[in-house]
Structure 1
Amino acid sequence: MSKLKYFLVAGLLRLAGSLPLAVAQTIGRWAGLLAWRLGGNARKVTDTNIRLCLPELSEHQSRQLSRESLIHTGMTTLEIPLMWEWPVAKCLGLIRETEGLELVDEALASGRGLILLAPHLGNWELAGLFFSSRYRMAALYSPPHIRELEDYMIRVRGRLGSELVRGDRKGLIRLMAILKEGGVAGILPDQSPRSKTNAYAPFFGIDVLTMTLVNKLMRKTGATALVTYAERLPGAQGFRIRVTRAEPGLDHDDPVVAATALNRSIEAVVRHCPAQYQWEYKRLRHRPPGQPNPYNQGRTC
């Protein structure tokens, strides 16, 4: 059954990957709008996250942001097959503007490794492809549910020599070695971790379980960290790569202080273009024990 699923998914990816950007974004836009209008789980999670994380918004503003968020998520979903199936040069040709790349060169000039924090904002697949085209880079990944897709993902994401390492003990050892050698590591910092060794820290003012991996890597390797994302430009014009400084404190010896700095770094770029953030993800599901579960009324974490 898993092989049948693989051939079906791979076929759909190749079909979607043959589309022009404008067509893919149009289909994604309509799919996202449909998901918003149907009011299913994705809409409910999005509404909950926006209400809790951005309480300063009016009801009308929250509703509008929810709609725009699902539209952008739909576009991201249809863009990913393009990033995987298009020739690399064609993908990189979608990048119309860059901002802050001097921060990367400045960080690497010190001889230390660099951690690029890439939240689920804009098109993170394109951001990874862009930086792997310029620097010696490794990235953490989680194996897909369909086992046969793993080799496919490694192949398409590593077309320019980027090394993909699993988020297990062996993979983390490899990641530390690359950073110690002055390389670049890409990490998605806004996923909800499950290990008890992580820390609770405020994310948009709400205490949630937050990864301490970045802190550990920085302290053990001496690496620095920056935040990056590929911002979607209007009208299928392409994308803008943005790099910004992370909040101070990521390498603090107190894991809560470090986790707070990590979340604040994410918040800063999300506030720049909130509609392109993946609000559909249940980021608030792991809260301190006894706290209300925001996605299941009447239940506690």
Structure 2
Amino acid sequence: MRKLLLKLSLHLIAVLPLAVLQVIGSGLGLLAYVCSKQFRSLFRPQYEAVVKSHHLPSKLWQAVRASGMLFSDSLWIWRNPQKALQLVEVQNWDVVESAINEGHGLVMLTPHLGGFEIIPRVLAQHFPATILYRPSRQEWLNEVVETGRAYPNMHFVPTNLHGVRQMTRALTRGEAIGILPDQVPSGGEGVWVPFFGRPAYTTPLPARLANRNNTPVVMFTAKRKSIGKGWLMQATRLAPLSEDATTAATELNVAIENAVLIAPEQFIWSYNRYKHPAGAELPPRD
């Protein structure tokens, strides 16, 4: 009964106008920061280290509010995909068209920033996309996410061998695949390379898939505009990634850093990007 009520609440919230839901999300971000010591212990050090190292003005409270809007944006996009598509301004689309027209498919990278959930829906208007995702350990939450993400021309596959095989087949057909490159992979599936100056366990999977058939790799961002105004989606084609896993993961993290710095207040700083997954080797010492 508790799960049913929560799922119903999420659906009801998503019916609200985007501006209202973003204000609610902003409040939830503040509430999480004030009430959760664990949230603060992850969020503040990661955010402040980056703004200090890059000599950026600190906008901590703006970033805290935006952390709640990451969730509210996703809910609204899932519930209102057509309205959301009308609120996205797409720049550099010629980069995407040029890449897909080469006929080798497209590796689409989308960090957890702003309205990142709108990106695959924009691509799905033009060609099929197979998206890699990690199922939640909570069955009810996984059901909510899978139902919300369902969309024509988008096919979601889990982060396992079967999912990787499906992505390989999609590239062979000249289609797009999508990967969230800032997630920590499972032990044995990544390498330790710097991310904003600290060792972070990073997946070399995008390079492995792209290098099979000279597939273009494009980094996408969806920077949130002002409240209720939608998102600015931008595409940047990356140089071919190295065949060496460690070098490729390093190149990937540099590209993610550049994407984050477009709107550092809108990144998912509450996520422990530097955790040591079970089964992974220890990170290298300085």
Normalised TM-score (structure 2): 0.90
Question: Which residue number corresponds to residue 31 of structure 1?
Answer: 28
**Whole-Å separation in 1 of the counterparts to 2:216 and 2:228:** 34
**1:21 aligned onto 2:18:** yes
Deviation by residue 1:117-138 (Cα, 9 ceiling, x = unmatched): 0000111111222222222111
**Whole-Å separation in 2 of the counterparts to 1:185 and 1:208:** 23
Deviation by residue 1:193-224 (Cα, 9 ceiling, x = unmatched): 12324211111121211101111111224311
**Partner letter of residue 74 of structure 1?**
G
State the 1:185 CA deviation.
0.5
**1:262 aligned onto 2:257:** no
Equivalent positions of 1:191-206 (< 5 A) are: 191-206=183-198
Question: Which residue number corresponds to residue 181 of structure 1?
Answer: 173
**1:163 aligned onto 2:160:** no
**Partner letter of residue 192 of structure 2?**
Y
Question: Which residue number corresponds to residue 52 of structure 1?
Answer: 49
CA separation of 1:218/1:156 partners in 2, compared to 1, >3 Å: closer, same or farther?
same
Deviation by residue 1:150-184 (Cα, 9 ceiling, x = unmatched): 45543432322211111111111011000111100
2:282 to 283, 289, 292: 289
**Whole-Å separation in 2 of the counterparts to 1:141 and 1:288:** 23
**Whole-Å separation in 2 of the counterparts to 1:137 and 1:109:** 15
**Whole-Å separation in 1 of the counterparts to 2:227 and 2:26:** 12
Equivalent positions of 1:1-301 (< 5 A) are: 4-38=1-35, 40-56=37-53, 61-62=57-58, 64=59, 66-86=60-80, 88-95=81-88, 97-246=89-238, 248-250=239-241, 252-286=242-276, 289=282
**Whole-Å separation in 1 of the counterparts to 2:40 and 2:203:** 26
Confirm or deny: 8 A CA contact 2:75 2:148 kept in the other structure: no
| Gapped regions of structure 2 (runs ≥ 5) | none
Deviation by residue 1:228-276 (Cα, 9 ceiling, x = unmatched): 0211101321111111122x352x1211110011000100011111001
**Whole-Å separation in 2 of the counterparts to 1:159 and 1:150:** 16
Confirm or deny: 8 A CA contact 1:176 1:221 kept in the other structure: no
Question: Which residue number corresponds to residue 297 of structure 1?
Answer: none
Cα RMSD over matched residues?
2.2
**Whole-Å separation in 2 of the counterparts to 1:290 and 1:78:** 34
**Partner letter of residue 62 of structure 2?**
E
**Partner letter of residue 94 of structure 1?**
L
Q: SS of the counterpart of 2:53?
A: coil
Deviation by residue 1:68-87 (Cα, 9 ceiling, x = unmatched): 2221111121222212222x
**Whole-Å separation in 1 of the counterparts to 2:70 and 2:284:** 32
**Whole-Å separation in 2 of the counterparts to 1:55 and 1:152:** 37
**Partner letter of residue 32 of structure 1?**
G
**Whole-Å separation in 2 of the counterparts to 1:242 and 1:16:** 28
CA separation of 1:203/1:290 partners in 2, compared to 1, >3 Å: closer, same or farther?
closer
Confirm or deny: 8 A CA contact 1:129 1:157 kept in the other structure: no
Q: SS of the counterpart of 1:235?
A: coil
Poorly superposed stretches of 4+, deviation over 6 Å: none
Q: SS of the counterpart of 1:234?
A: coil
**Partner letter of residue 257 of structure 2?**
E
**Partner letter of residue 130 of structure 1?**
V
Aligned length: 282
**Whole-Å separation in 1 of the counterparts to 2:281 and 2:143:** 37
**Partner letter of residue 73 of structure 1?**
S
Confirm or deny: 8 A CA contact 1:72 1:275 kept in the other structure: yes
